[in-house]
Amino acid sequence: MVARVLAGRYELVRFVGRGAMGEVWEGRDRLIERRVAVKLLGHDVRDAPGAELFLREARVAGGLNHPGVVTVYDLGHDEDAGTLFLVMEFVTGRDLATVLVEGGPPPVATAVDWSARGATALSAAHSAGVVHRDLKPANLMLTASGDVKVLDFGIARYVGSTHRSSRVMGTLAYMPPERFDEQPGDARSDLYSFGCVLHEFLTGNPPFEATGPVAMMNAHLRRAPRSPGEVRAGVPAELDELVLALLAKDPRDRPQSAAEVVARLDRLTARRSPASVPPWAVPTEISPRRTPVGPGGVPAVAGSATAARFASAMRALLAAKSAAERATWPAPAPPVRRFAPPSDAGPAIGKDSVDPPRRGLRRWFR
């Protein structure tokens, strides 16, 4: 079988998986013999007005240079298939949506560590004028060395412009209130989504549960979230306060920068002795395997030997971290039931008991 090659340079070596944004492949850069990840966006763009938008935003995102952001090497248009593609740094690890499905919420200190790493990357992006717009656990990669890298800067706005309904359905659990009123949002919108992610790290669930997409929108717009400490014992009061501040309905009531969030998380981390937490120790040869998206837009756990080795390593690691933390962090509550947000193919709109709170909501589902 002849390997498919994009732009005469990028050979598609192995299919990794398919998600809401298209296909992911392990690839090889034939010019400099480098292992890469290639993302084929799942939309026909030969006539799509969003193509130029994607190229413009991806170029900006590609200018980011930070260890917590997956590096974009190249982008282009595959004329044969009529799809756009991104060539990125190949990261060995698993996305945190899969990690949470696999093992539930981690120890509190681990959740703080993941969040601090993600917020640091977000701060660097915001400083460069780049807003993510689709922050969620599936876009955060836990690497084999224990770092957290943020994926897919610059892609969300393009996909939303070309396939609006399904994208909204897949990210409702993390979407800031102002987006439902068709306001463009800014860096503080990312911070709301980050608050949803931090809530999920601590409890196993995003802040709101709802029976359908319209009710989920209404929850983001009107309902007060439960603090993580109400759901799980052992969450420090300062961390509860940070999560609730990030989830403020009005952007003016949230922390005004990711740098402020990093500082608050660092103060929490400083309460622990550095020697109390063992270093990350996970296998170094693990390929990211994205399986078909399941309920809630969260990928199912891969059944390969590689995934099994990673799962075993993660369980051992989290157990070790949990034991080491007990002297400084209260013990967590029993495992929390995970709530799956509505999937991309979610229930039909219009039969929910709650009417759309604002007129702008209707246009999301045209």
What crossing angle do the helices spanning 258-269 and 187-203 adopt, rounded to 10°? Answer: 30
The pair of structure tokens assigned to 324 is 């080491």
HEC-encoded secondary structure of the chain: CCCCEECCCEEEEEEEEEECCEEEEEEEECCCCEEEEEEEECCCCCCCCHHHHHHHHHHHHHCCCCCCECCEEEEEEECCCCEEEEEEECCCEEEHHHHHHHHCCCCHHHHHHHHHHHHHHHHHHHHCCCCCCCCCHHHEEEECCCCEEECCCCCHHHHHHHCHHHHHHHHHHHCCHHHHCCCCCCHHHHHHHHHHHHHHHHHCCCCCCCCCHHHHHHHHHHCCCCCHHHHCCCCCHHHHHHHHHHCCCCHHHCCCCHHHHHHHHHHHHCCCCHHHCCCCCCCCCCCCCCCCECHHHCECCCCCHHHHHHHHHHHHHHHHHHHHHCCCCCCCCCCCCCCCCCCCCCCCCCCCCCCCCCHHHHHHHC
As beta bridge partners, residue 85 has 40, 76
Residues 6+ positions from 47 with CB-CB distance below 8 Å = none
Task: Please provide residue 187's backbone torsions phi and psi, each rounded to the nearest 5 degrees.
Answer: -60, -30
Clarify whether 134 is annotated catalytic: yes
Tokens 């409702």: give the residue. Answer: 172
Spot the catalytic one: 95, 113, 134, 190: 134
For residue 229, give the nearest of 206, 253, 265, 202 by alpha carbon.
202
**Any idea which residues carry the catalytic annotation?**
134
